[in-house]
A and B are shown apart, each in its own frame.
Chain A
Amino acid sequence: MPLVKRNIDPRHLCHTALPRGIKNELECVTNISLANIIRQLSSLSKYAEDIFGELFNEAHSFSFRVNSLQERVDRLSVSVTQLDPKEEELSLQDITMRKAFRSSTIQDQQLFDRKTLPIPLQETYDVCEQPPPLNILTPYRDDGKEGLKFYTNPSYFFDLWKEKMLQDTEDKRKEKRKQKQKNLDRPHEPEKVPRAPHDRRREWQKLAQGPELAEDDADLLHKHIEVANGPASHFETRPQTYVDHMDGSYSLSALPFSQMSELLTRAEERVLVRPHEPPPPPPMHGAGDAKPIPTCISSATGLIENRPQSPAAGRTPVFVSPTPPPPPPPLPSALSTSSLRASMTSTPPPPVPPPPPPPATALPAPAVPPPPAPLQIAPGVLHPAPPPIAPPLVQPSPPVARAAPVCETVPVHPLPQGEGQGLPPPPPPPPLPPPGIRPSSPVTVAALAHPPSGLHPTPSTAPGPHVPLMPPSPPSQVIPASEPKRHPSTLPVISDARSVLLEAIRKGIQLRKVEEQREQEAKHERIENDVATILSRRIAVEYSDSEDDSEFDEVDWLE
């Protein structure tokens, strides 16, 4: 039955009961009909007024919009004419700091709400019979439901439909999951074939890494022989190989914490000899670098001292380890190797290595006539490192003793060069860095390796001409020691300083992700009972592989 929007009132002009006792019935009927016609006309005029009124209202709202639009166009035309391409600047802040333009995405829905009922229909509706006032009994219900809902419930359609849709989506999701699992299970079998090579690769990798980690001593020996032709003894080389393949820092960090603490305490003890500071434990390289450098300066003429240190550094690793090819990270290797020995292989060999260095240092000193003293200072630098490692093996006393001799030797040599006062300080620098760094944490291990390396690079650059042997070793030290350790720490922290644009884009991505979520949440709260949302969610389930279809929803819903 079509609903009539507007009724013209008297439908039946002539169908009326005639009053009794009328002489001229025909005339009466005619008159009544004519009157009805006039009523009809009046109703028609109302009808027309309604129509025109509606049209006028709509057009009127349009005129408002047109006027405001006209104003905006005028303003815009002015501002556009004022645009100057020469002065305009493009700032990247537009990407990060400003919201992106978004045109309005209003969608009409729920078009048949009670409020949208036109007035004439509303009038007709009001005339209709109301349902019985069952709501009177609502307060007496136990379940708190509206009494009228059991008589007539218009929201029933939506409720049932929504429930069905949600159920449907759940079912489909489960089905998909099942299918996925099946699909996954099936491909698994064929995939196993390709996986085999993968495993092989791993095996190869293991093989590649294995030698250092797990291979027999014999193999190690062979390797060392190949790698190191130098004077280095085999026991020493062994640890080096460990170090070479494993990062010194990692190996050290791998040490049980107790051992680390032991090392630290020992270092502190050594430090105690000097009334210095364990407190300054700046873990970073900067601190370590800073310390040693000033000490060097104070000790003597910076250049001279630096030179000796650098050669010493270069050579000492050499002594400890096979000279040229094997250890890119000689210093760290020395430290870590010693530590490794201490920790892993508590065997006689470790004690052996420490002794050799002193003689070795002695040897190089004669070899290079000009910087004999520096060389010895250098050993001092190196020694502090080995002693901490050695102590765990035997006793705390030996390291101190060793350190002490070193110190003694140092002063003797520096004296000829210049300042006796400066000499005492030089020994401190070596021990200083380790204690300061160690207390901090395992991370400090990297720092541990660094201070020497940091020391050396600066001198090495300066004394470059110093010794032909030097150049190869110091660079190698610097590169391996500093780089591998720095990378892990610096990479995450430092954003690519290359381009601001990259930063802007990155930020933009952040903003978008987080804000999308926010908007989605807001939307979910706003229109949880939205037909379009429910429908799109149900459809999205069929397309989405992932479990969360929320994004899908939002996309479908926005478009």
Chain B
Amino acid sequence: MAGQEDPVQREIHQDWANREYMRSSPAASRKSSDFLNSFDMSCRSRLATLNEKLTALERRIEYIEARVTKGETLT
């Protein structure tokens, strides 16, 4: 019995170890995906603010240019 159990037990132990090991990697990948998601979100918000400021700047430049230069003539 003991001899028989041994290999089984050994396998089970091994399995436990393997699963223990495998558990970490999906956790890591999950972590990385979480990070990617949050990173995406924060980047998007930053990009949004950047876009906002850029648009405002463009408009302001447009306005100032219009002030400085002559408007297009009416056809």
Which B residues are in CB contact (< 8 Å) with A104? 59, 62
Shortest distance between the CB of B5 and any CB in chain A (Å): 15
Which B residues are in CB contact (< 8 Å) with A30? 15, 18-19, 22
- The main secondary structure of chain A at its interface with chain B is helix
Contact A55 B33 (CB under 8 A): no
Which B residues are in CB contact (< 8 Å) with A94? 70-71
Is A44 an interface position by the 8 A CB rule? yes
Which B residues are in CB contact (< 8 Å) with A76? 61, 64-65, 68
Interface members, chain A 47-103 (any B CB < 8 Å): 47-48, 51, 54-55, 58-59, 62, 65-66, 69, 72-73, 76, 79-80, 83, 94, 97-101, 103
A51 to B35, CA, bound (A): 11
- Residue among A58, A80, A98 making CB contact with B70, cutoff 8 Å: A98
Shortest distance between the CB of A70 and any CB in chain B (Å): 10
Is A199 an interface position by the 8 A CB rule? no
Task: Write the chain A residue with the least CB distance to B64.
Answer: A76
Which B residues are in CB contact (< 8 Å) with A58? 47
Shortest distance between the CB of B66 and any CB in chain A (Å): 4
Which B residues are in CB contact (< 8 Å) with A37? 22, 25-26, 29
Contact A55 B36 (CB under 8 A): no
Check A51/B64 contact, CB under 8 A, given A13-B26, A27-B14.
no
Contact B36 A65 (CB under 8 A): no
- Residue among A8, A29, A51, A511 making CB contact with B39, cutoff 8 Å: A51
Contact B73 A8 (CB under 8 A): no
- The main secondary structure of chain B at its interface with chain A is helix
The interface on chain A, measured as residues whose beta carbon lies within 8 A of the other chain's beta carbons, has a size of 39
Is A33 an interface position by the 8 A CB rule? yes
Task: Write the chain A residue with the least CB distance to B40.
Answer: A51
C-beta contact mask, A452-483 vs B, less than 8 Å → 1, else 0?
Answer: 00000000000000000000000000000000
Check A66/B44 contact, CB under 8 A, given A79-B68, A80-B68, A98-B74.
no
Is A26 an interface position by the 8 A CB rule? yes
Which B residues are in CB contact (< 8 Å) with A83? 68
Is A41 an interface position by the 8 A CB rule? yes
Interface members, chain B 4-37 (any A CB < 8 Å): 11-12, 14-15, 18-19, 22, 25-26, 29, 32-33, 36-37
Check A98/B72 contact, CB under 8 A, given A37-B29, A44-B32, A65-B54.
yes
Is A265 an interface position by the 8 A CB rule? no
Task: Write the chain A residue with the least CB distance to B32.
Answer: A44
Is A34 an interface position by the 8 A CB rule? yes
Contact A62 B29 (CB under 8 A): no
Q: How large is the interface on B (under 10, 10 to 19, 20 to 34, 35 or more residues)?
A: 35 or more
Check A48/B32 contact, CB under 8 A, given A65-B54, A79-B68.
yes
Which A residues are in CB contact (< 8 Å) with B73? 97-99
Contact A511 B70 (CB under 8 A): no
Contact B47 A55 (CB under 8 A): yes
- Residue among A24, A40, A69, A98 making CB contact with B61, cutoff 8 Å: A69
Contact A34 B22 (CB under 8 A): yes
Contact A55 B40 (CB under 8 A): yes
Which A residues are in CB contact (< 8 Å) with B15? 26-27, 29-30
A13 to B11, CA, bound (A): 20
Which A residues are in CB contact (< 8 Å) with B22? 13, 30, 33-34, 37
Task: Write the chain B residue with the least CB distance to A45.
Answer: B32
Which B residues are in CB contact (< 8 Å) with A27? 11, 14-15, 18
A104 to B71, CA, bound (A): 15
A83 to B64, CA, bound (A): 13
Check A26/B12 contact, CB under 8 A, given A40-B29, A62-B54, A101-B63.
yes
Contact B33 A8 (CB under 8 A): yes
Interface members, chain A 485-537 (any B CB < 8 Å): 511
Task: Write the chain B residue with the least CB distance to A40.
Answer: B29
Contact B33 A44 (CB under 8 A): yes
Task: Write the chain B residue with the least CB distance to A72.
Answer: B61
Which A residues are in CB contact (< 8 Å) with B74? 97-99, 511
Task: Write the chain B residue with the least CB distance to A100.
Answer: B71
A214 to B54, CA, bound (A): 79
Which B residues are in CB contact (< 8 Å) with A33? 22
Interface members, chain A 18-45 (any B CB < 8 Å): 24, 26-27, 29-30, 33-34, 37, 40-41, 44
- Besides the contacts A62-B50, A66-B54, what 10 more A-B pairs have beta carbons closer than 8 Å? A26-B18, A29-B15, A33-B22, A40-B26, A62-B47, A73-B61, A76-B65, A79-B68, A101-B67, A104-B62
30 A–B pairs (Cβ distance < 8 Å), ordered by A: A8-B29, A24-B11, A26-B12, A26-B14, A27-B15, A27-B18, A30-B18, A34-B22, A34-B25, A41-B25, A44-B33, A47-B36, A48-B36, A51-B40, A55-B40, A55-B43, A55-B47, A62-B47, A62-B50, A66-B54, A76-B64, A79-B68, A80-B68, A94-B70, A98-B71, A98-B73, A99-B72, A101-B63, A103-B62, A104-B62
Instruction: State the B residues within 8 Å of A (CB).
Output: 11-12, 14-15, 18-19, 22, 25-26, 29, 32-33, 36-37, 39-40, 43-44, 47, 50-51, 54, 57-59, 61-74
Question: What 4 pairs across the A-B complex have the smallest Cβ distances?
Answer: A98-B71, A101-B66, A30-B18, A26-B15
